[in-house]
C-alpha cells in the first residue's frame, strides 16, 4: 500500500464562496476528521 503525505492549513473563512475562490487559486478545500487518534 502506498503512503501519501498531505500538508494543510486552517482556513480563515468557510462556505461555498470561499471554497470556490480557493479552487480558482489552485487549492483543494477539504475537511480532515480525527477519531480516536486516527485520521479518516
Contacts of 33 (CB under 8 A, 6+ apart): 39, 40
Mean pLDDT score across all residues of the chain: 86
Q: What is the pLDDT of residue 32?
A: 79
Domain ranges of the chain: 13-40
pTM beyond 0.85, yes or no: no
Is pLDDT at 8 greater than 80 in this prediction? yes
Binning pLDDT at 50, 70 and 90, where does residue 35 land? Answer: confident
**In angstroms, rounded to a whole number, what is the distance separating the alpha carbons of residues 3 and 22?**
25
In this prediction, residues 20-40 reach a mean pLDDT of 84
- The mean pLDDT of 7-35, rounded to a whole number, is 89
Amino acid at each position: 500500500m502506498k503512503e501519501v503525505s498531505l500538508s494543510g492549513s486552517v482556513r480563515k473563512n468557510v462556505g461555498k464562496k470561499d471554497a470556490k475562490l480557493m479552487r480558482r487559486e489552485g487549492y483543494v478545500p477539504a475537511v480532515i476528521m480525527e477519531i480516536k487518534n486516527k485520521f479518516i
